[in-house]
A and B are shown apart, each in its own frame.
Chain A
Amino acid sequence: MKVLVPVKRVIDYNVKVRVKADGSGVDLANVKMSMNPFDEIAVEEAIRLKEAGKADEVVAVSIGVKQAQETLRTALAMGADRAILVVAADDVHTDIEPLAVAKILAKVVEEEQPGVVLCGKQAIDNDMNATGQMLSALLGWSQGTFASELDIEGDNAKVTREVDGGLQTISVKMPAIITVDLRLNEPRYASLPNIMKAKKKPLAEKTAADYGVDVTPRLEIVKTEEPAARAAGIVVGSVDELVEKLKEAGAV
């Protein structure tokens, strides 16, 4: 079985986000970029499937700017076998919408015929939480979202999902789209020898036009602003003072 793992290049999760003063967006120039943390979990799960003998090839794919090849090299260094870069934007500030990404991925799936697609449940930049579900709809495949446990057995996969009330387990028909949540696994760090080896692994480069997909955004960004700041608070000296202040504020 082949596993396809879409990965996204996003602002590193430790970086303090700066909104541009002219309201045009978030400043991404000269900012540390990394693989979306949820996608790292998806790559790790794919590699574990291969190590467990359930998968024979792991293919990473990224859709975005040319620099996303760095993100794909990270996936290759972790243990993916080969990578596909679909260049769909020139400017690092252009975010390709989940619908367009899902359409391109659907074409990649047609070409590659994976048995499962493992996606991060959301990207930490646009926080849309949509690509996996949309891809699943376009392909007419089953979906197992927000997975904290995954067990693939033959024609079915048992997926334990993190939901508002606790955990839900479902059984999905393969092939399936699985979107992964935080507690599925802990991604490995790539070792230096593996980082060196990754440079020699195959990375094919395509464009959105190669797949005939129009990536024109459906959502026009009117403006991007800083959220309203909270008024400064006070530090209290004791539990008694805290109780007094809370009572004054009518909070208890």
Chain B
Amino acid sequence: MAVLLLAEVTDGALALDATAKAVAAAASLGDVTVLAAGASAAAAGEEAAKIAGVAKVLVAEDASLGHRLAEPTAALIAGLASDFEHIVAPATTDAKNVLPRVAALLDVMVISDVSGVVDGNTFERPIYAGNAIQTVKSNDAKKVVSIRTASFDAAGEGGSASVETISAAANPGLSEWVEDKVAASDRPELTSAGIVVSGGRGVGSEEDFKLIEGLADKLGAAVGASRAAVDSGYAPNDWQVGQTGKVVAPDLYVAIGISGAIQHLAGMKDSKVIVAINKDEEAPIFQVADFGLVADLFEAVPALTEKLG
């Protein structure tokens, strides 16, 4: 059977890593048709056509699709659904906005944040902040599935799928984009970075968060933060790692001044190597750390930054 996969397209650019990971997860479900939708999406569609395992690409360009507003994007996908048994997307905030709406339009349940594909009807997904893994079998005719990208390796390149242009659905005109506030950064993207350095409440201020950023830059890493650090205004919301923020699984995760609430662990405990630096030896973060250092971060982090690289 066939799979329709919503590519992650932001302002015309394909998020290759997230999209290729979703393609890898969906490969066993059937032939994958990628949908690239946006005000401009042709270039993203061309790029997606080169992902190995992609059979076909549909490009829908329309002003209404420009900022991935849920209503016109969901209407477009629901209109295409008759040809597909699975509708899949990487579990980004965009897809989490759109896919449940699609599922309800099709009168099926959505299956969010899938971490394992057992077969075409059966999926594994974390519940209770990752404290349990549930295997669910769908009884719906269509399966609408978002993929936890941290659980899959990206599909490689080498595909040469055909690209077809399609029209957008009628815009229901329910919402309008006003503005984006996106901080420009030269650092790697958090969910696809090989190394992530994160700071928590223990860092103490926005100014001292520079220590975290300094170590990250030395390692070529992305910067993350705990909810406590974001709530306290030390770090912006898009750095949050955890149950309700981003889920990461880098080769190396360095947690600094983070106590390790289960909600934070939910977003990083699948990292390959975890380092924890905290002055409280009882902090739960040490239970998941491969290497723990009980130390004052204000001494340890500058020393570590100097000695690495």
Contacts and interface: CB of A to CB of B under 8 A. Distances in A.
Interface of A: 11, 13, 16-17, 19, 26, 38, 97-99, 102, 121-122, 124-138, 140-146, 148, 158, 161-173, 181-183, 217-227, 230-231, 233-236, 238-240, 242-243, 245-246, 249, 251-252
Contacts of A245: 291
Contact of B286 (A38, A141, A235): A235
A100 to B, nearest CB: 9
Contacts of A165: 10, 180, 182, 238
Closest 9 CB pairs of A and B: A142-B174, A133-B100, A137-B104, A134-B104, A130-B100, A17-B131, A218-B109, A222-B135, A233-B290
A124 B76 CA distance: 30
A218 B139 contact: yes
Interface stretch (B33-41, B157-165, B204-212, B292-300): B292-300
Contacts of B126: 127, 227
Given A130-B100, A171-B175, A251-B252, A242 B237 contact: no
A239 B137 contact: no
A132 B112 CA distance: 14
Given A167-B181, A235-B292, A242 B71 contact: no
A153 to B, nearest CB: 13
A129 to B, nearest CB: 5
| SS class, residues of chain A in contact with chain B | mixed
10 contacts: A99-B110, A142-B71, A145-B70, A165-B10, A167-B180, A183-B237, A218-B140, A233-B292, A235-B281, A239-B293
Contacts of B93: 146, 161-164
Given A140-B172, A246-B252, A166 B180 contact: yes
B58 interface: no
B259 interface: no
Contacts of A99: 103-104, 107-110
| SS class, residues of chain B in contact with chain A | mixed
A98 B109 CA distance: 8
B67 A166 contact: no
B219 interface: yes
B274 interface: yes
Contacts of A97: 109
